[in-house]
A = this chain, B = another copy of it.
Amino acid sequence: MRYIETFKDGDRVSDIFLVKNKTLAMTKTGKEYENLILQDKTGALEGKIWDLTSGGIGEYDVLDYIDVHGLVTSFNGTLQLKIERLRKVSEGEYDPSDYLPVSRYDIGEMYSEFLGYMNRIENVFIKKLLESFFVEDEEIIKKFKSISAAKSIHHGFVGGLLEHSLGVTRLAGIFADTYEILNKDLLVATAMLHDIGKIKEFSPFPENDYTDDGNLLGHIVIGSEMVGEKIKNINNFPEKLSSQIKHCILSHHGELAYGSPKKPALVEAVALSMADNLDAKMETIKELFDSKENAQEWMGYNRLFESNMKRTTI
């Protein structure tokens, strides 16, 4: 397919795009027309349907994929697409990864590595808990593999939650190997589960926006509750262990002001919050380095880091 970022004035287009938005509008002369936002992974483009009787109009909706035929024109210096004909397509006709930002790593491979950490857990209760999420619950597995870790900031792409959870889990493993006061089972398990609430905080792609529960409860509390529910189905799960696992999830933002209702009170909770922070910061800077606007050595003031960030030059 030809991507949006390659379009020029005068091009004829005949390709499938994702409909990000759709509104009915009216010209000054009182004629109705339809306004669309089409999207692929390289960008977005406004589309206009002037003739509302043309083929396929009215049979698609926002977040559908449509096959459009039309002409690229320039208006006030911005390109738009004059759509002549369109058709809603079915799931097999397109490859979603052409339309959405995706992890640069293979999701299957990441998940294998992720499960490897689970398999090395020695505590049987902790292992059972992890399996109830990552082996037995197909719905959770599917969402966990595809959902984003964020609406915008870091890991905001398909597979982002898995990639970030794996990153934090790797650090957890390393930290536990480095500092003997850390209980590896507890730290690794809570690293794997720390953001599990995000599968209910965000709607799936292509929407990728906060759900009601995301806004009202937040992934921290949702995740703690999900863990509590799974534990109820495991016989004789030790109560103290349950509290300590939930505590690590609840406190993983490290500070009350960052939305954790409790400060870390266990050494594993302290370590987890730092692993989460490190993985998030590294990915944030990576995305900063990758973004086209920041091609120069000094990338300008960054609000998160409160500094004019610079590429290292050695």
User: Do the beta carbons of B224 and A310 come within 8 Å of each other?
Assistant: no
Residues 136-191 of A at the B interface (beta carbon under 8 Å): 167, 170-171, 174-175, 178-179, 181-183, 185-186
Binary contact track A275-314/B, C-beta < 8 Å → 1, others 0: 0011001100110010000000010000001111110111
Judge whether A73 is part of the interface by a CB distance below 8 angstroms: no
Interface residues of A in 245-285 (CB under 8 A from B): 246-247, 250, 256-268, 270-271, 274, 277-278, 281-282, 285
Q: Tell me whether A212 is interfacial, beta carbon within 8 Å.
A: yes
Q: Which residues of B contact A277 (CB under 8 A)?
A: 274
When chains A and B are docked, how far (Å) is the Cα of A270 from the Cα of B283? 12
Q: Are A305 and B221 in contact (CB under 8 A)?
A: no
Given A263-B305, A298-B215, answer yes or no on A313-B244 (Cβ-Cβ < 8 Å). Answer: yes
Give chain A's interface residue range (CB within 8 Å of chain B): 35 or more
B174 touching A262, Cβ below 8 Å: no
Q: A215-B298, A274-B281, A285-B181 are in contact. Are A310 and B250 (CB under 8 A)?
A: no
Interface: A216 (CB within 8 A): yes
Per the bound structure, the CA–CA distance linking A120 and B212 in Å amounts to 28
Cβ of A62 within 8 Å of any chain B Cβ, yes or no, is no
Complex Cα–Cα for A231 and B78 (A): 52
Tell me how far the C-beta of A271 lies from the nearest C-beta in chain B, rounded to whole angstroms: 7
Q: Nearest B residue to A299 by beta-carbon distance?
A: B265
A38 CB to closest chain B CB (Å) equals 23
Decide if A53 is an interface residue (CB 8 Å cutoff): no
A25 at the B interface (CB under 8 A): no
Give the chain B neighbours of A261 by CB distance below 8 A. 217-218, 220-221, 250, 259-261
Asked whether any CB of chain B lies closer than 8 Å to the CB of A228, the reply is yes
Asked whether B307 lies within 8 Å of A262 as measured between CB atoms, the reply is yes
Q: How far is the CB of A138 from chain B (nearest CB, A)?
A: 21
Contacts beyond the supplied A218-B262, A256-B259: 5 A-B pairs with Cβ under 8 Å: A181-B289, A182-B282, A217-B247, A244-B313, A267-B289
